[in-house]
Structure 1
């Protein structure tokens, strides 16, 4: 297992290098430059001042010189300066990444709490009324766009009923660290978390349902029934244990997918996370923030893939990756 992890980490190095080249080229291919967004916010800036700033920031250097400088800074943990917010990108991300990770964790936990029982019921009692209702819910969730469902949730439970806040991550009037602060934090998380969880359950439900149906007809299950093993024990010890393998295998992919999908939720619910920051940076052409976020997302995807392989080899004793 240790050799496998080390080998995968070594393979990640050239992958990150290729990703950095692609991110840099795409950023250079975008219209304008790193000062375009700042110029749009300050139309009084004259051409001479703009030219001096470009020279000072090294934007007139050849692309390969800019790339080498960017990579050196990146390896030292320096993600650059946000041209819009006028502060280091690391400080800007540190203020928001905690909110995104918290939101993603809540969505993941809620989606499993909803999906696993539904998948077990649907797989165990196939073609029953409950199974048909759960399958219908899965199809409806799969066909519903996230941004439309989130807008509907916000409109109904936020504006009409007024049960939850319609924006932000915490009430600015409460003092940080108090009980009211954490209650407000949870209250702001409920609506976006439910919106994301209710639509992200479809994959888990279908995988679990199909695995249970396939496992029920396996020879070792028939043998257990022939020996008189109670049905409840057959499901808990044999069927469910094997059916959870695909869920564990896709855990890493789901984590990275939630982080990427938070762009829509954070924008709709005005939740201050890196997803909302990424969308704002694209609109304002804040290149240093865009490149940093894309690199972080790429690294998270590679780590999620590694995590999935590790979990799969750990939960299934038949798999030995050396």
Structure 2
């Protein structure tokens, strides 16, 4: 097992290098930069001052020099400075990363709770009216883009019914640390979390349903029935036990999917997290923040894939490459 994990970690090193080069080149291909944006917003800044600032900040250096300097700073924990916020990038991220982690965790928990519950019903009583209803729901969810579904949820439950807040992460008038503060924070989380979870359950439901149906037809299940084992025990001891194991491998891939989903959800619900910051930084051409966020997302994706491979290898040792 440890050899397998070490091999996968070593494979990640060239992937990280290639990712960093790609991110840097794509960021440099963006039209303009934060300083040209400041020039457009500040008539007092003349072009000569802009040239001097670019030279001082090294923005006119060759690309390989800028890339080397950027990687060197990353390795030393220096993420650079946000020209728009006039703060260190790590300080800008510190204000938002907690909200994104909390939102992603809520979506992940709800995804597994809803997906496993519906998958169990659909698989055990397949071809029943409940199964057909769940399968129909999964098809509709699969065909519905996340941003469309999130907008509908916001319009119905936020604006029309007024059950949930339509933006923000907490009421700023509440005192931090009080019970009312945390309850209001939870209330702000419900709508975006449900929007993300209800769309993310499709793969989990379909996979668990297929696993249960396939397992029900295996010989060891038929043997248990022939011996007179109660149906409830057959499902708990044989069918579900074997069907649940591969589901654990979805955890890593669900984490990677949450990264992209957070961008849409945080923008639609005006939720102050890293996804919203990412879009704002692109619009404002804040090079340091954009590259850092994309790099962190890439690392999280690689770690999520690694986690899935580790879980799969623990569940089924046959996939390990010795």
Q: Do both proteins adopt the same fold according to a TM-score greater than 0.5, normalized to the shorter chain?
A: yes
Whether 1:75 and 2:78 are equivalent positions in the alignment is no
Write the deviation string for residues 24-58 of structure 1: whole angstroms up to 9, x where unpaired. Answer: 11111121134233223323311011011101100
The alpha-carbon deviation at position 319 of structure 1 amounts to 6.1
Whether 1:42 and 2:14 are equivalent positions in the alignment is no
TM-score normalized by structure 2? Answer: 0.96
Q: 2 CA distance for matches of 1:278 and 1:31?
A: 16
**Relative to structure 1, is the Cα distance of residues 48 and 320 closer, same or farther in structure 2, using a 3 angstrom cutoff?**
closer
Q: How does 1:199-278 map to 2 (within 5 A)?
A: 199-278=199-278
The alpha-carbon deviation at position 93 of structure 1 amounts to 0.8
Whether 1:29 and 2:25 are equivalent positions in the alignment is no
Q: Secondary structure at the match of 1:244?
A: helix
C-alpha root-mean-square deviation of aligned residues, in Å? 1.4
Q: 2 CA distance for matches of 1:232 and 1:141?
A: 31
Q: 1 CA distance for matches of 2:52 and 2:313?
A: 56
Write the deviation string for residues 50-106 of structure 1: whole angstroms up to 9, x where unpaired. Answer: 011101100111111000000000111111111111111111111111111110110
Q: How does 1:82-97 map to 2 (within 5 A)?
A: 82-97=82-97
**Relative to structure 1, is the Cα distance of residues 244 and 39 closer, same or farther in structure 2, using a 3 angstrom cutoff?**
farther
Write the deviation string for residues 155-174 of structure 1: whole angstroms up to 9, x where unpaired. Answer: 11111211111111111001
The alpha-carbon deviation at position 317 of structure 1 amounts to 6.6
CA contact (8 A) 2:123 2:213 kept: yes
The alpha-carbon deviation at position 265 of structure 1 amounts to 0.4
Q: 2 CA distance for matches of 1:192 and 1:39?
A: 36
Unaligned runs of 5+ in 1: none
Q: How does 1:136-175 map to 2 (within 5 A)?
A: 136-175=136-175
Write the deviation string for residues 203-259 of structure 1: whole angstroms up to 9, x where unpaired. Answer: 110000011111111122122222222211111111112212332112101012112
Partner residue, 1:116: 116
**Relative to structure 1, is the Cα distance of residues 280 and 256 closer, same or farther in structure 2, using a 3 angstrom cutoff?**
same
Q: 1 CA distance for matches of 2:173 and 2:53?
A: 40
Q: 1 CA distance for matches of 2:202 and 2:137?
A: 8
CA contact (8 A) 1:263 1:278 kept: yes
The alpha-carbon deviation at position 260 of structure 1 amounts to 1.8
TM-score normalized by structure 1? Answer: 0.96
Q: How does 1:41-60 map to 2 (within 5 A)?
A: 41-60=41-60
Tell me which moved more, 307-316 or 199-208.
307-316
Tell me which moved more, 123-132 or 151-160.
151-160
Q: 1 CA distance for matches of 2:133 and 2:255?
A: 27
The alpha-carbon deviation at position 321 of structure 1 amounts to 6.2
